[in-house]
Structure 1
């Protein structure tokens, strides 16, 4: 009997931990939470916060970096999201969350060079003290949080992946981020509010 109970609790623990890992852990924001604003340094040396975007209806916050192959695979798609939705009120705000001592390729100088080479049109901020990504609960690069600006604050409306195929943009079947923003713009309910973020673990 004791062995059976031990086996049951062991299996329960594995399932519970797997569920937490699948959706980015039990910490950080959940859909429906109000996201706290932040002040982070942009690649142009200026400090950026969400409150700077006076006319925004919301934000596509993407935790990403230079060194993760998943993030690199999504760079053009992140840029496309900004070009498509910034003028509609949902700009991309990218945040680099890694410890640069562990990943020197994610230094501010490297971020500046990458943004220039790729022609990024969105803010590319450094979470220098690694204080913002734990608030959000981000675990991967890339990891997307779509926020809707309201009188109560910036409400988290979607968490997860950009789409369902990091390897090939032309083979994507589900554009999760686009579908979420389109729903918000049209006043409809988001069908998939949370998906699994696929990418590299954030380096601490």
Structure 2
């Protein structure tokens, strides 16, 4: 009996360590550098002029991410004039075989529409604790760096944009732009599981 209890406690602690990986709401986000499809380096510090930055972990291979492409374009167009910048990070999901990264090809329509950064070796998805594609992290700029204010789902209906009832990402952006805290700062994302190496 004592052995089972010890095993249970060990599994619980291990589960908590994995569940707590990545940034928590309110945490300062460290600078990062990723390369785009043209092999140019892009850093978090490149966005210091943006009051808000939406980092979207996605995948050119994920059916859920493809369903969200139009909605993300619409959100980007609606909020760019308000100072919000969007960054799309292409990461590896469980559907891919062979190579550890599914690099966005410049001739793909989605790659032309979305300026993807390549999550080589999954360095950024691990740093943020992203588990699904698509999953969004909203960072708020302040004099000493970027802080995480929202993470999770874009909305409540991955399959059909016309039937969305809760616009989690838009609500978070609206609140932050108005100088308010985000009422629902975390919302579990639905999408393709990001493969861990």
List runs of 5+ in structure 1 lacking aligned partners: none
Whole-angstrom CA distance in 1 between matches of 2:40 and 2:169: 27
- Partner residue of 1:178 out of 170, 173, 189: 170
User: TM-score, length-normalised on structure 2?
Assistant: 0.85
Instruction: Give the alignment of 1:12-51 within 5 angstroms.
Output: 17=15, 25-51=19-45
Deviation at 1:10? 5.0
1:193 aligns with 2:185: yes
**Greater fraction of residues in strand:** 2
Q: Give me the whole-angstrom Cα distance separating, in 1, the residues matched to 2:101 and 2:118.
A: 13
Partner of 1:97: 91
Q: Is the 8 A contact 1:71 1:199 kept in 2?
A: yes
Whether the aligned pair in 2 keeps the contact of 1:161 and 1:176 (CA below 8 Å) is yes
- Does the 8 Å CA contact 2:91/2:101 hold for their aligned counterparts? no
The 2-side partners of 1:53 and 1:6 are apart by 51
**1:185 Cα deviation after fit:** 0.4
Question: What is the CA–CA distance in structure 1 between the aligned matches of 2:67 and 2:98, rounded to whole Å?
Answer: 21
CA distance in 1: counterparts of 2:159 and 2:27, whole angstroms: 31
Displacement of 1:101: 5.7
Counterpart of 1:52? 46
In 1, are the aligned partners of 2:132 and 2:191 still within 8 Å (CA)?
Answer: yes
Whether 2:45 is the aligned partner of 1:72: answer: no
- Using the size of structure 1 for normalisation, the TM-score is 0.82
- The two structures, once aligned, show a CA RMSD in angstroms of 2.9
The Cα offsets for residues 172-194 of structure 1, whole Å up to 9 and x where unpaired, read as 11100000000000011211000
Cα distance in structure 2, aligned partners of 1:65 and 1:75? 11
Say if 2:48 and 2:141, in contact at 8 Å, map to a contact too: no
CA distance in 2, matches of 1:37, 1:105: 21
Distance in 2, matches of 1:201 and 1:46, equals 27
Structure 2 unmatched ranges of 5 or more: none
Paired residues of 2:34 and 2:119 also in contact (CA < 8 A): yes
Report the count of equivalent residues.
194
Instruction: Tell me, yes or no, if structure 1 residue 131 matches structure 2 residue 123.
Output: yes
* Aligned with residue 155 of structure 1, among 147, 155, 160: 147
